[in-house]
Structure 1
Amino acid sequence: MPKTDYRKDNFDIDLEFGSLGEDMVLKIFEEGSKIEVKTERGIWKHTGNIAIEIECNGKPSCLSITDADYWIHLLADDGKIVGGYIIPVEYL
């Protein structure tokens, strides 16, 4: 494994960058953002893919019609939530 050019004296930079994520999560839950939550069953583990529905039976659905600000896509394995993604809907 190649060495990385990582410096240990950049805590202030890392802290500032980490705060961006913390601020986003606070905004979602404290400021009343609308969220859409979908849970992906275990097939993702074998394929490496997730699916975000945009149409069902020829009609717009799910992502196409949501009024959510954030899409939370959870990953389940053997009936347990093991991770997930939080994505602003505008980026999808």
Structure 2
Amino acid sequence: MGIQVGSPAPDFAGEAVVGTDFKSIKLADFKGKWVVLFFYPLDFTFVCPTEIVAFNDHLEEFKKLNTEVIAASVDSKFSHLAWNQMSLDKGG
């Protein structure tokens, strides 16, 4: 039987961009917190930037609720870093 609603998610690990640094993370790092894990198609696209910006705009509210937000796509960590450093008016 697969994962059931209400069951803990299986642990996963990956490389993340945190600020301007690369960091290895795993779901277990956030034990005791709520986690919002959202997926988006690619960096440097205009498919869903408003949703990503909205998550970013509300990060402090999530933190007050003991919640971490993790975004994931198929891009490399280098692409994530470049996109993260680009200004919104230029597509970042």
TM-score, length of structure 1 as denominator length:
0.29
RCO higher in structure (CA 8 A, sep ≥6): 2
Q: Which has the larger radius of gyration?
A: 1
